[in-house]
């Protein structure tokens, strides 16, 4: 759905009518006349277009603002090797994964290519997707695409011309910013942690100029002005439009739009954003500075409901097969940035998400005061070649602290089947008892969100992609 004067005007009207007093309502309606203008609508459209690039940059700043690798952070050009699953204090990225150990890095291919070598995975499931500055997954080495054997590849930047060493495969990044988000499946046992750690330690990242040489990455520089505590999404959302567009224009210098974005580039110029140039504030109405981000982000999140088919709703689960590669579907790209930055291509993973229980005539948000169950009929657990899991998040898409430190449930737990062969996943705050712990996904006392991950989903019967497998509802049982 394109952002139009009508949609922006409706959003402004809704905002106005939610105010408490007559005076406030009048003020809101007057402001809506301004917000219903073409100029305001264009600014909202530009905000949505730039949301992935701005969010990627703010994420890069936080993750790389350290002197040396530690935990979930490392300087540019250093590998981050997560040694255990993230916990409930993790705030670097929304909707984190608790099924794999990440081996990731930010690096800049604007000046020269960077080389990545991956050891033999011994048939273990892993993938190494690479995102450009716009969150597009431009290539995915890994077991599904290139096999589980040892491999070496180079990532080249926009306009690079040169020769790579023999045996080194080239992947072309459309932008200077590259985010490698390697995922290696791990059961979470001490023995399997050790096996994955060995693989991680054999993954190498270095600039092409260091190929065949001994090379040690230099220490990072810490910028004390960078907010290392506030979640990245919150940092982006609190920017006013002038600050936001100033950063967007700066980022466009090294991370150009795609050829398909030509129409959008023409629109951006009308409000002072021209690739390769600083933001021209004289072409932007400062009266829009506060409202543009508010309206634009609300519209992005509304895409859950009004997606023109981008998001399917089946048994209370919303999911999409439009991830990783977005083309000119800017609002879909912005939505995935907001709720699942780093999402894979659908051939690698699909992420059904449920905000409300499918029970009863009126759907209600999940709440820890209730009990829920997801039942897979005999032989109908999620059909995948990689793995599946069900993850618990709070209402802000972060992990939920719980007494058994379990953030997701999957086949790696010794799930107990019922007498008829079906399997129940118990979703509740209250401890169901020791005999049911294997099937329990702990919930908070308040609101929560469920997300399923289907890695390397079947592409034919049975398959969630063609609809021949249907995800069952989370049913309220209390």
Contact 388, 382 (CB under 8 A): yes
pLDDT of residue 28: 43
Q: Report residue 223 as tokens.
A: 């910028």
For residue 55 the two structure tokens come to 């969010």
Q: Is the peptide bond before 265 cis (omega within 30 degrees of 0)?
A: no
Tokens for 430, please give them.
Answer: 């209250």
> How far is C-alpha 392 from the chain's CA centre?
16
What pLDDT, on the 0 to 100 scale, is given for residue 21? 37
Query: Could you tell me which residue, 10 or 237, shows the higher pLDDT?
Result: 237
Check pLDDT > 50 for residue 376.
yes
Where is average pLDDT lowest: 83-97, 128-142, 338-352, 400-414?
83-97
pLDDT (mean) for 400-428: 95
- Half-sphere exposure of residue 3: CA atoms within 13 angstroms, side-chain side: 35
**Alpha-carbon torsion angle 96, 237, 327, 168, nearest 10:** -50
Grade residue 309 by pLDDT with cuts at 50, 70 and 90.
Answer: confident
Which of the residue ranges 4-8, 78-82, 103-107, 188-192 would you say has the lowest mean pLDDT?
4-8
3 Cβ contact list (under 8 Å, min separation 6): 41, 44, 45, 48, 299, 331
The residues pairing with 206 across neighbouring beta strands, listed in sequence order, are: 115
Number of H-type helices and E-type strands within the chain: 9, 21
Q: Compute the Cα dihedral for 75, 111, 326, 58 and give only its sign.
A: positive
d(CA 387, CA 410): 8
Q: Please state the φ and ψ torsions of residue 329, each to the nearest 5 degrees.
A: -85, 75
109-131 pLDDT, tens digit each:
999 999 999 999 999 999 999 99
The two tokens of residue 105 are 């890095």
Mean pLDDT of the chain: 90
Between helix 38-64 and helix 5-17 the angle, nearest 10°, is 80
Which residue segments constitute the domains of the chain, with CATH numbers given?
A: 5-58+232-302 (1.10.3360), 66-210 (2.60.40.1610), 317-476 (2.60.120.600)
CA distance 54 to 303: 19
Mean pLDDT of 51-64: 98
Pick the closest to residue 301 from 318, 316, 285 (CA basis).
318
Longest Cα–Cα distance of the chain, Å, equals 73
Coil, strand or helix: which one is 414? coil
Band (pLDDT 50/70/90 cuts) for residue 34 is low
Is it the case that residue 410 has pLDDT exceeding 70? yes
Give dist(CA 457, CA 386) in Å, integer.
7
The residue assigned the tokens 């081996």 is 103
Q: Could you tell me which residues are beta bridge partners of residue 107?
A: 178
The helix or strand, by DSSP H or E, that contains position 151, with its residue range, turns out to be strand 151-156
E-state strands within 157-284:
169-172, 177-185, 204-207
Residue, of 250 and 304, whose pLDDT is higher? 250
Read off the pLDDT band of 422 (50, 70, 90).
Answer: very high
Q: Which residues of 120-150 are buried (b: 16+ CB within 10 A; e: fewer)?
A: ebeeebbbbbbbbbbbbbbbbbbbbebebee
Over the Cα atoms of the chain, what is R_g?
23
DSSP state of 377: P
Written as six digits, the tokens of 306 are 């009004």
pLDDT higher at 35 or 74: 74
Band (11; pLDDT cuts 50, 70, 90): very low
Of the chain, the percentage scoring pLDDT greater than 70 comes to 91
Please say whether the beta carbons of 302 and 338 come within 8 A: no
pLDDT band (50, 70, 90) for residue 6: very low
Rounded to an integer, the average pLDDT of 451-469 is: 93
Q: List all residues 6 or more positions away from 326 whose beta carbon is below 8 Å from its beta carbon.
A: 134, 135, 136, 332, 333, 336
pLDDT of residue 307: 85
pLDDT of res. 360: 66
How far apart CA 12 and CA 29 sit, in angstroms, is 8
Cα–Cα separations (whole angstroms), residue 7 to 27, 98, 221, 271? 19, 37, 44, 20
The conformation of residue 353, written as its DSSP 8-state character, comes to E
Q: Which of 37-41, 168-172, 217-221 has the lowest mean pLDDT?
A: 37-41
Give the percent of the chain with pLDDT over 90.
80
Written as six digits, the tokens of 324 are 């990783």
Q: Count Cα neighbours of 87 within 13 Å in the Cβ-side half-sphere.
A: 9
């Amino acid at each position: 759905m394109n952002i139009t004067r009508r949609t922006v005007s409706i959003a402004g009207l809704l905002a106005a009518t939610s105010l408490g007093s007559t005076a406030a309502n009048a003020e809101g309606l007057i402001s809506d006349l301004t917000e219903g203008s073409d100029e305001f609508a264009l600014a909202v459209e530009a905000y949505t277009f730039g949301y992935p690039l701005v969010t990627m940059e703010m994420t890069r700043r936080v993750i790389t603002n350290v002197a040396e690798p530690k935990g979930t952070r490392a300087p540019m050009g250093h590998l981050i090797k997560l040694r255990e699953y993230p916990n409930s204090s993790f705030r670097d990225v929304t909707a984190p994964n608790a099924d794999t150990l990440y081996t990731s890095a930010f690096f800049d291919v604007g000046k020269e290519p960077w080389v990545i070598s991956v050891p033999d995975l011994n048939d273990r499931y892993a993938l190494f997707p690479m995102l450009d500055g716009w969150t597009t997954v431009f290539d995915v080495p890994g077991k599904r695409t290139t096999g589980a054997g040892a491999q070496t590849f180079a990532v080249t930047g926009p306009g690079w011309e040169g020769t790579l060493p023999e045996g080194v495969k080239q992947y072309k990044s459309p932008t200077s910013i590259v985010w490698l988000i390697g995922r290696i499946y791990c059961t979470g046992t001490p023995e399997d942690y050790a096996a994955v750690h060995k693989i991680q330690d054999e993954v190498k990242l270095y600039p092409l100029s260091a190929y065949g040489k001994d090379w040690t990455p230099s220490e990072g520089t810490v910028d004390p002005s960078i907010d290392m505590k506030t979640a990245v999404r919150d940092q982006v959302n609190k920017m006013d439009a002038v600050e936001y567009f100033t950063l967007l224009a700066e980022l466009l210098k090294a991370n150009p739009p795609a050829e398909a974005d030509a129409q959008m580039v023409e629109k951006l110029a009308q409000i002072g954003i021209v690739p390769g140039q600083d933001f021209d504030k004289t072409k932007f109405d400062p009266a829009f500075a506060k409202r543009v981000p508010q309206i634009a982000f609300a519209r992005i999140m509304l895409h859950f409901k009004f997606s023109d088919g981008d998001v399917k709703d089946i048994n209370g689960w919303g999911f999409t097969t439009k991830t990783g590669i977005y083309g000119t579907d800017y609002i879909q790209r912005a939505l995935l940035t907001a709720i699942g930055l780093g999402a894979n291509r659908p051939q690698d993973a699909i992420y059904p998400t449920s905000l409300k229980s499918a029970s009863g005539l009126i759907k209600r948000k999940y709440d820890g005061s209730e009990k829920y169950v997801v039942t897979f009929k005999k032989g109908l657990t999620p059909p995948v070649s990689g793995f599946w899991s069900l993850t618990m998040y709070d209402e802000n898409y972060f992990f939920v602290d719980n007494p058994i430190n379990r953030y997701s449930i999957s086949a790696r737990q010794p799930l107990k089947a019922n007498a008829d062969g079906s399997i129940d996943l118990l979703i509740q705050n209250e401890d169901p008892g020791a005999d049911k712990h294997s099937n329990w996904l702990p919930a908070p006392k308040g609101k929560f969100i469920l997300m399923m991950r289907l890695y390397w989903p079947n592409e034919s019967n049975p398959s969630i992609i063609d609809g021949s497998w249907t995800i069952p509802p989370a049913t309220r049982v209390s």
